[in-house]
Amino acid sequence: MAADPSKPLFPVESSHHPKPPSRKPQTLTAESKFWRSFKNSELASGLILPVTALEFSPVPPHDLAAASSAAVYLFDGATLSPKPFSPLSSFSDVAYSPSFRCDGALLAAGGESGIVQVFRLDRAGHALRRLRAHARPVRLVRYPRVADKLHIFSGGDDALLSYWDVPSETQVLSFPGAHHDYIRAGSPSPVSSEVIATGSYDHTVKVWDVRVSSNANPVLGFSHGAPVESVLFLPSGGLLATAGGNCVKIWDVIGGGRLVHTVEGHNKTVTAMCLGRMRNNESSGRGGGESRLMSVSIDGYLKIFDFAAYKITHSMRYPAQLLSVGFSPSGLARVVGTSNGTIYMGKKKMKEKEGDIFGAKVVSEFDTFAPGPVKHVLRPNFRYFRRGQNEKPQETDYIVKRAAKVKLAEYDKLLKEFRHKDALVAALNQKNPNSIVAVMEELVARKKLLKSVVNLDTDELRLLLGFLHKYATMPRYARFLMGLAKRVLELRAEDIRSKDELKGYVRNLKRMIAEEIKIQHSLQEIQGMISPLLVIAGR
Amino acid sequence: MITGGQSFVSSPPAFSHDGKKLLVCTGRTVSVFSTSTGMLITELEGHADRVTSIVVIPVAVAASKFVSYCWTSSLDGIICYWDFSVPELVKKVKVGLPIFSMVIPNVSRNPVGSNEKMSTLFAYLSVEDINKPADQHKALRGQIQIYNLTNSHRVKGLLAETLNPVFISVSKSGEYIGIPNKRKLHIWKVPGKDCKCDEIKKIKLYHTKKLSTLAFHPYERMVAGGDVTGRILIWRGFGKRKFSENLQATGKGRTTNEEERPGVRGDDDADSCATWHWHSSEIKFLFFSSDGAYLYSGAKEGVLVIWQLDTGKRKYKPRLGSPLLYFTDSPDPSLSCISCADNQIHLLKMPTMEIKKSIAGIKLPFSSPDGYKGLGSEFAYDHAAGLVALPTKDYCVQFFSLYDNLEVSEVQVCEKNFQPADDVTIYVALISLSADGFVMGTVDVKLPEERLGGLVSLKFWKHGSRMGEYSLSTVIYEPHSDAGISALAFRPGHDMAVSSSFGGDFKVWVHSSYTEDTDQMLQKSGWRCQSIGSYKKKPMTAAAFSADGSVLAVAAGTVVTLWDPDSNILVAIIGDTLSPITRLSFIGKSEYLVSSSKGSKPQLSVWSTSNLSMYWSYKLFAQDVSCTADGSQFAVLANHNSLDDTTTRDGDGVILLFDVENPVPLATWSVQKAKRGGLTFLPPNPSFHDTKCKEGKDTSLLLYINGDHEYVIFDPHSSEENQIRRNAQKSQAPPEEAVRFGYASIYGELPDISLKKEQIPEIPFVPSERPWETIFSGSSHVLPPLTKLCSAFLASLLEKRPSGNE
């Protein structure tokens, strides 16, 4: 059966200017859907001072350590609630750079006082070890990432980089004058426990290998071009990301420090970076999902960078300067630390539910007695009458489509019934200038506009005059509406004279016209000034 | 010679007796269309003038299913009898006067195939008496005559005389015929056997307005009449007194009280009269449904109204897009057709009123308002595809295939609802196609209401994948502020167009694609203005590009300005004509330019661009000028008005074929209805030519479209007419398919259920030696009833005769 080829009903449309170009549809990419799926809240910890560092434990449940003021705060990884013995507050001054050991049992942190302290995490208490060598604040304390439980790297404002044997509290290696300025950033290599990259305020990034003799020469060094705030090895260990100034640079370490890419997404200094793994529930197994580089800046933006495609895939804005960022290896939590002590966290909460379902299943499977399903008494309730209405068709089903109902605006319906004045009033009541002009143009095409204007009663005339006052000088409608305003005043002069309320509108119109004339005058002046210039330029 | 573009809606069509074919009057021929595909099957050629009515002979017996006969009448005064399945002319009856309408009331009483003796067929004709002077005011030129078709002689006497020939209606049973005559209806009761004019009983029904149409109820004594104001009057029980057989009833009828006949005027012979009013203009047709429960009516609004007879309730089928003219129903109850004034016949699927198929002819001309008129021709041609593009009244552009005489597509230019009853306020003023047909430019105009809200918009369209399919590329509102556009031309070989306006400037438009939205890399393309030119603020009235696209010629009033289209530099100005130039064209690839101007001092001039002067000129009112693509010839369609020739009718014209070098025309043809006609050269189409005519000479064809949009394609260089033939005659007949009625049409065929019982092979069993011993064994509730067992038992006791297989 052929479709009925008789013409459809065209709703009226303003032709005086084309529709604004339709904005590209807000279809979220899978990427932004993932990043938006975090439920945002503030991590209540009542801090006032800047949160300088956020670190997740590498082992489940991925506890969180946050350095702020003279303490390191610990949060449970699953619930993000404070741990019972938090905070670790045996610091005499501001604490910096907490770092978890690779098994998550110990935590090391530096401080303003220059002492590096190592804590146990399973119970409260004083520091297990205190490593003293730095004369100035220690902003960089890192455990190696790979299977090395004995050593620590530390770097401080005295430009000293140390390699410690923790149990004996002794320096295995030290590189005095490793940089020419404060060492503020560093990242141990994810593939080798002996390699660390450090970044300093002298704009350079250096890669050190403790197996190479201690003649204070780095394996590799290159200049970032700005004070380096953060250094991060990407998961392969071959690429290094450095942040400084308002750009993030990706370097090829194996290729001898070649600059691979520069990300210029931030407007102010980039303060911290971390790695995040996009892990959806389906692929929640280990290693699922793609890795992303997350960087925060004091312009308040968190940007997600896809370092495989070299593309910023998502960005979020926070209402404060951001100093630190962390992303849980479980993929369920994202935390951002700010300069005013607030920690913003985004949390995915699917896991719990999943666990519940799983648990329930287990129970029902192993229970010996399972109660049978409660038999529903057939009652003619609402659902009964609607049964089957939400049934989805199967692929083999033949679908009989109902003709799509055409949605018509009220004025379109009235125009269809040839109720011209009512259509005009309906459009005026909607206060959308586009549709009002569209209806007026349609009435012109039917030669009914002036007749409708004549038939308007006082209230409706007031609507029309109000509309004309507001839009008659708008450039896109002006040519049509100016003429119309003139005709309306001519046609309804007597009504306007007799009604005081309408006089006000006419006064408004007058004022508007005076303003418009003034604008036109000044525009003509400008044109007069410009046209000689253009003529000269044309020669 | 190919002709085409006939009107399908000059007269009502008729269905064949099985509802599979539709017979449509198309000018001098009757075209037979298939109702399932909407394609032309065959044509009946034989009349010398417009065919006005078709009467299909009904078929009684299913055996004679394939017999299909019809009577047709024409303005040439001949009635023909056809076998339209073959098709073959069987019989010709000469009447002598132009026949406007013909009905054969007793045609249904002796259908083909019945064994009864054929009774005499009487045709009731509405003819025009051409002997009476036409200019006399009160002359009764219309006559209703009776004609005996069986022995082809006229029955003496006249039934009625009317001012003009009218359309005769007949009731379904053939019992009554009627005509509207001014403010009354004449109704005659058709006599059973033989006809004598003075013996036929007649009544009149009066009304206060001029009646335009009438219809009879299929079985009740009811007639509906429509008048020019849109009212429908329904008389019930008409003619009870006059048409009743016994005189006693008549006497009783006279005694009935006047009060018992509501709505009946004066002494009219009817029981009651009801008035329905919905239409706002003249009723074009009335039609009772075959079950007699509904009345269909149609008028100028383009809305088919379905009235429920008992209650007067209405249903509508809106937006048919054009004034309605005729409604015909078919013997198949689920099919009927409606003819629209825009030369379309819609086949409706009946209970749902869905349009199943449309048979569309070339769109008929409509009068655009005088305030703004494109000066050039209203047609545009796609030469390669053999299409003509012409504007329609409902804001579309129709693409019509000239060689196939078929509508190809329709492109909606303005997305506005068309109201056939309203005045024309929006119309497509100009259509232009690029030489390769890939780009179309249209100009549509909205007329202002008292100088308020007028709008001219220029639209560029891109060719789609199919023939005649265009999609909107760019819309430019008010391209020359509020001035109208006089011409639109595309530059051959480039994506460039020029539009010239009466406001005194022309704009050169170029097609460009640009990228927008940096991170999305959206490719957008559109037309934008490259340059603007003007010459002394004179209105620009015509524009044309040379064949190689290197020169742009724009007519500024009476002079021709030549421009370099790329740099927009005025190159030269050529001379002066007497009145503003309305049409410009370069002649092939030659250096000459032809211009035509209308107005009080019409002129046709040929200009030489090499020495910038006039070559030769005529005082000639040229409707249209067309040039060959590469040769040096051009053809002009000229009106007779300008020539001093008083003998020809107004609107007649002449086609002149010129060569540039010689002001003496090579050939002339005289044509009719040249006003608003069109002319173009079509490239030779290899499928139409025999090999012998390819002798290296110019073989392009000339197309002439007259004011009624009928056209003819011929070879201007040969005197023989039969060289080109339409490649038709290839049978477009649909494969015969079984008609499905009733149950089968809804649910499809039933699977064949064989009534015979399934033949289960008999299981051979060997009867025991002594069945009587076992027959009663077993428990009593298992055993069959005794009455059955008894016969078996007795049978077993009897000795069997040996069977015949020994």
DSSP string of A500-522? HHHHHHHHHHHHHHHHHHHHHHH
Interval A77-93: pLDDT, tens: 777 788 877 778 788 88
Chain CA centroid to CA B209, Å = 30
Yes or no: say if A252 and A258 are a contact pair by the CB < 8 Å rule.
Answer: yes
B710 occurs within a structural domain: no
**Residue B619 included in any domain:** no
Q: What is the reported pLDDT for B735?
A: 42
Q: Are residues B239 and B294 in the same domain?
A: yes
> Would B545 be classed as within a structural domain?
no
- pLDDT reported for residue A254: 86
Q: pLDDT tens across B393-433, in order?
A: 888 899 998 888 888 888 988 888 888 877 788 888 889 99
Residue A355 has pLDDT above 70, yes or no: no
pLDDT the model gives residue A424: 92
Comparing alpha-carbon positions, the chain A residue that sits nearest to B352 is A4
Give the pLDDT confidence score for residue B250 in this predicted structure. Answer: 42
Average pLDDT for A366-389: 64
CB contact (8 A) between residue A24 and residue B520: yes
The better pLDDT of the pair B774, A439 is held by A439
| Residue B170 falls inside a structural domain | no
What's the pLDDT at A363? 39
| Whether B356 and B221 share a structural domain | yes
The owner of tokens 């609802």 is: B417
Helix axes A433-445 and A458-471, enclosed angle (nearest 10):
110
End-to-end CA distance of chain B, in Å? 84
Residues B356 and B384 in one domain: no
Residue to mutate among B317, B394, B417, B567, with most A CBs inside 10 A, is B417
In this prediction, residue A272 carries a pLDDT of 92
Hey, what are B424's tokens?
A: 């024309």
Query: For chain B, what is the domain count?
Result: 2
Q: Is the dihedral of CA B416, B420, B423, B429 positive or negative?
A: positive
Percentage helix, strand, coil for chain B under 3-state DSSP, each rounded to 5: 5, 45, 50
Same domain, B324 and B463: no
Residue B726 has a pLDDT of 43
Whether pLDDT at B802 is above 50: yes
Instruction: Tell me, yes or no, whether B623 lies in a domain.
Output: no
Q: Which of A123, A124, A216 is nearest to A163 (CA)?
A: A216
- What is the structure's pLDDT at B552? 92
| The pLDDT of residue B646 | 45
Q: Which residues of B touch A491 (CB under 8 A)?
A: none
> Does residue B252 have a pLDDT over 60?
no
The reported pLDDT for the residue numbered B731 is: 38
- Which residue of chain A is at minimal alpha-carbon distance from B320? A6
What are the pLDDT digits (tens) for B183-199? 888 888 887 766 666 67
Q: Are the beta carbons of B450 and A17 separated by less than 8 Å?
A: no
Which DSSP helix (H) or strand (E) runs through B496? strand B496-501
More confident site: A502 or A528:
A528
Q: How far apart (Å, rounded) are the C-alpha atoms in residues A534 and B8?
A: 61
Domain end point (choices B478, B497, B524): B478
Q: What is the pLDDT of residues B38-81, one digit of tens each?
A: 888 888 888 888 899 998 888 766 555 667 888 899 888 888 88
Look at residue A46 and give its three-state secondary structure: coil
Closest residue to A9, CB basis, from B412, B417, B446 = B417
| A contact set with B (CB within 8 A) | 1-2, 4-10, 13, 15-18, 24, 440-450, 480, 483-484, 487
Together in a domain, B311 and B409: no
Same domain, B350 and B419: no
CATH code (residue B214)? 2.130.10.10
Q: What is the pLDDT of residue B580?
A: 85
* CA–CA distance, A466 with A472 (Å, rounded to integer): 10
Supply the pLDDT for residue B93. Answer: 86
- With cut-offs at 50, 70 and 90, classify the pLDDT of residue B512: confident
The answer on B239 and B352 residing in a single domain is: yes
Q: Do B446 and A17 touch (CB under 8 A)?
A: no
pLDDT at residue B723 tops 50: no
Q: Cα–Cα distance between A223 and A205 in angstroms, integer?
A: 6
Residue A288, pLDDT score: 60
Share of chain B above pLDDT 70, in %: 80
Coil, strand, or helix at residue B410? strand
Residue A32 vs residue B336, higher pLDDT? B336
* Cβ contacts of A489 on chain B, cutoff 8 Å: none
Q: What domain range includes position B448?
A: 372-478
pLDDT of B670: 85
pLDDT of amino acid A527: 94
Q: A165-182, pLDDT tens digit by residue?
A: 988 888 888 888 888 889
User: What is residue A368's predicted lDDT score, i.e. its pLDDT?
Assistant: 44
ipTM for the whole complex:
0.77
How far is Cα A244 from Cα A273, in angstroms, rounded to an integer? 11
**Predicted local distance difference test score (pLDDT) of residue A175:** 85
pLDDT in tens, B605-652: 899 888 888 888 888 888 888 888 777 888 888 876 544 444 445 567
B128 part of a folded domain? no
Of the candidates B587, B591, B599, which has an alpha carbon nearest to the alpha carbon of residue B572? B591
- pLDDT, greater one: B502 or A11: B502
What rounded mean pLDDT belongs to chain A? 82
Chain B interface, Cβ < 8 Å to A: 319-321, 346, 349, 354-358, 394, 412, 415-419, 422-423, 425-426, 446, 448-455, 457, 475, 477, 517, 520
Q: Report the residue of A6, A398, A416, A489 to disrupt the B interface, i.e. the one with the largest count of B CBs within 10 Å.
A: A6
CA–CA distance, A224 with A243 (Å, rounded to integer): 8
Among A130, A67, A127, smallest CA distance to A96 is for A67
Contact yes or no for B423 and A444 at CB 8 A: no
Do B300 and B227 share a structural domain? yes
Examine the domain organization and report whether B258 and B341 are in the same domain: yes
Of B511 and B762, the structure prediction assigns the larger pLDDT to B511
Is the per-residue pLDDT at B524 higher than 60? yes
Mean pLDDT of chain B: 79
Confidence of residue A392 (pLDDT cuts 50, 70, 90): confident
Q: Which helix (H) or strand (E) holds B11?
A: none
Q: Is residue B285 part of a domain?
A: yes
- Give chain A positions within 8 Å (CB) of B319: 6-9
* Among candidates A5, A440, A447 on the partner chain, residue whose Cβ is nearest the Cβ of B355: A5
Domain membership of residue B223 (yes or no) is yes
- Among B331, B361, B391, where does a domain finish? B361
Query: What's residue A360's pLDDT?
Result: 40
The span from the CA of B459 to the CA of B58, in Å, is 52
The secondary structure of B329-379, three-state, reads ECCCCCEEEEEECCCEEEEEECCCCEEEEEEECCCCCCCCCCCCCCCCCCC
Tell me how far apart the alpha carbons of residues B499 and B431 are, in angstroms, rounded to a whole number.
12
B380 in the same domain as B325: no
Per-residue pLDDT, averaged over B665-674, amounts to 84
Q: Final residue of a domain: which of B319, B337, B361?
A: B361
Of the candidates A413, A426, A484, A477, the residue with the CA atom closest to the CA atom of residue A453 = A484
Rounded CA separation B346/B358 (Å): 4
Read off the pLDDT of each residue in A275-303 and give the average, rounded to a whole number.
75
The mean pLDDT of B669-690, rounded to a whole number, is 74
Q: In this predicted structure, what is the pLDDT of residue B109?
A: 65
Place A21 in a pLDDT band, splitting at 50, 70 and 90. Answer: low
Does A26 have pLDDT greater than 60? no
More confident residue, A19 or A311: A311
Judged by CB atoms closer than 8 Å, whether chains meet at B394 and A7 is answered as yes
**Residue A120 pLDDT:** 86
Q: B446 to chain A: nearest residue by CA? A: A445
Which of B280, B423, B443, B449 has the most A C-beta neighbours within 10 Å, making it the best mutation to test the interface with A? Answer: B449
Nearest Cα residue in chain A from B457 = A15
CA distances from A282 to A285, A331, A348, A353, B759 (A): 8, 12, 14, 14, 62
**Residue B255 pLDDT greater than 50, yes or no:** no
Provide, rounded to the nearest whole percent, the portion of chain A with pLDDT above 90. 17
Residue tagged 């418009």 (tokens):
A516
Rounded to the nearest 5 degrees, what angle is found at the Cα of B170, between the Cα atoms of B167 and B175?
150
User: Residues B277, B414: one domain?
Assistant: no
Interchain proximity A444–B449, CB inside 8 Å:
yes
Do B322 and B258 fall within a single domain?
Answer: yes
pLDDT at A25 over 60: no
Output the pLDDT for position A11.
Answer: 78
**What letter does residue A535 receive in the DSSP assignment?**
H
